[in-house]
Amino acid sequence: MSRDWIGVPVAVLVAGAGGGLAGAGKGGVTALGALAMAVGVLLAVGSVRHVVLLARERRENPPPGRLVGVGGHRMHVLAEGEAGSGPTVVWMPGGHAPGADFLGLHTMLSARARSVLVDRFGSGWSDVGTFPRTTAGEADELWAALEGAREQAPFVLVGHSFGGLLVANAARRRPDLVAGLVLLDPTPPEVVAFAPRSRQIARMRRGLLLTAVRQLFGVHRGPGNRAGQGCAAASVFAELSPAGLARVGWETVVYDGDLGDLPLVLVIPRDLIGGEAVLAGARDTAEAERISRFYLRSRVRYLSASTASRLVHTPEGTGHDFPHEVPSFVVGVVGDLVRELRATGP
């Protein structure tokens, strides 16, 4: 499903099967075969439309950065600004969003520091890559992409939500390349493993796959219609369940002390603004208070990953999506860490 051309052979198979049934010469079977042939033709038309529209999108929107080889596939890296005597900043948005989701932050920071956006496989201008997608694998791919783009260490890694979990993993793997870490309300594994039962991630994965199927057969809704994007996100989100996390925990979770004395800035909201849906499932007031306490305490768990960590609260009234709500504040926090690191040397 992740290959944008796959809709064409699927449509041919459906039409061919319908043709076989139609030739059976029996009333009901013939009618069913004719219907299947018609469906196959419609799917073929939609599949060709999908491929044509994607080709047009690629022509009209060439990659603004470089495509570098990683494991036989191409990853897109956009780097701008001058590092000077300081570290290079690498941004990682939440979810499985492309680097362009943080283009505004990148543009603001690149005026004063070297700033890099990386499209994970299955996002932005990068190829779809291999499956299954995993946080551990994407952490290694991030380092390979930066090396392929010839970006120079040390780096400050900045990640939001699921992107925060990813860059923390990357820092654990290559601490020799990292000068500092800024985690923007990163996904706490405890929330995945121990939170009240929720089908939100499962529903999101189903939605991504259904969207990918629609796109394969030509049902487009605006730009960014590569079926592989939804498939890649659905694949990596398979980890975000109690069973999934238990399977990959040792490779994925950043435990207490894993980052040594790496400078770490944890940036989180003070409350659960925007998280009302989480509290809506509580049976009573006491359980709602327990859920709130659980999420608020889980948010600070990354502080124990490093002995040089500190906590910064976001402006009043902001929620989990604060990187888009108050971008200047985020750039200011990252810029402050860059200046500190410049002052203290390599």
Summarize pLDDT for 28-43 with one digit per residue, the tens.
778 888 888 899 999 9
pLDDT given at position 183? 98
pLDDT interval class at 136 (50, 70, 90): very high
Token pair in block for residue 226 = 């590569």
Lowest mean pLDDT among 14-23, 161-170, 241-250: 14-23
Instruction: Please calculate the CA angle 137-142-147 and round it to the nearest 5 degrees.
Output: 130
DSSP string, 246-285: HHHHHHH---TTTTTT--EEEEE-SS-TT-HHHHHT-SSH
Token pair in block for residue 338 = 């860059």
Percent of the chain with pLDDT over 90: 65
Query: Quick check: helix, strand or coil at residue 119?
Result: strand
Lowest mean pLDDT among 67-71, 134-138, 201-205, 271-275: 271-275
Q: What are the phi and psi torsion angles at 243 (to 5°)?
A: -70, -40
Q: Which helix (H) or strand (E) holds 191?
A: helix 189-194
Strand order in the sheet with 115-119: 66-70, 73-80, 115-119, 88-92, 155-160, 178-184, 264-268, 309-313
**Selected residue with higher pLDDT from 226 and 125:** 125
pLDDT given at position 157? 98
pLDDT given at position 2? 84
DSSP string, 14-66: HHHHHHHHHTT--HHHHHHHHHHHHHHHHHHHHHHHHHHHHHHHHHHS--SSE
Lowest mean pLDDT among 5-14, 164-173, 197-206, 290-299: 197-206
Mean pLDDT of all residues in 315-338:
97
Percent of the chain with pLDDT over 70: 97
pLDDT given at position 27? 67
Enumerate residues 6+ apart whose C-beta is below 8 A from 80.
106, 107, 110, 114, 115
What's the alpha-carbon Rg for the chain, to the nearest Å?
23
State the burial class of residue 209 (Cβ atoms within 10 Å of its Cβ: 0-12, 13-18, 19+): middle
User: Per residue in 48-68, pLDDT tens?
Assistant: 998 998 898 889 999 999 999
CA pair distance 166, 262, nearest whole angstrom: 16
Q: Is residue 26 pLDDT above 80, yes or no? A: no
**Selected residue with higher pLDDT from 242 and 225:** 242
Token pair in block for residue 91 = 């941004």
- In terms of pTM, does the model score above 0.85? yes
Q: Is residue 346 pLDDT above 60, yes or no? A: no
The 10 Å Cβ neighbour count of residue 9 is 12
CA pair distance 130, 152, nearest whole angstrom: 26
Architecture of the CATH domain 66-200+231-344:
3-Layer(aba) Sandwich (3.40)
Distance of CA 188 to the CA centre of its chain: 15
CB 144 within 8 A of CB 73: no
pLDDT interval class at 25 (50, 70, 90): low
Domain ranges of the chain: 7-60, 66-200+231-344
Q: Is residue 306 pLDDT above 90, yes or no? A: yes
Mean pLDDT, all residues of the chain = 92
User: Per residue in 69-88, pLDDT tens?
Assistant: 999 999 999 999 998 888 99
CA pair distance 130, 241, nearest whole angstrom: 21
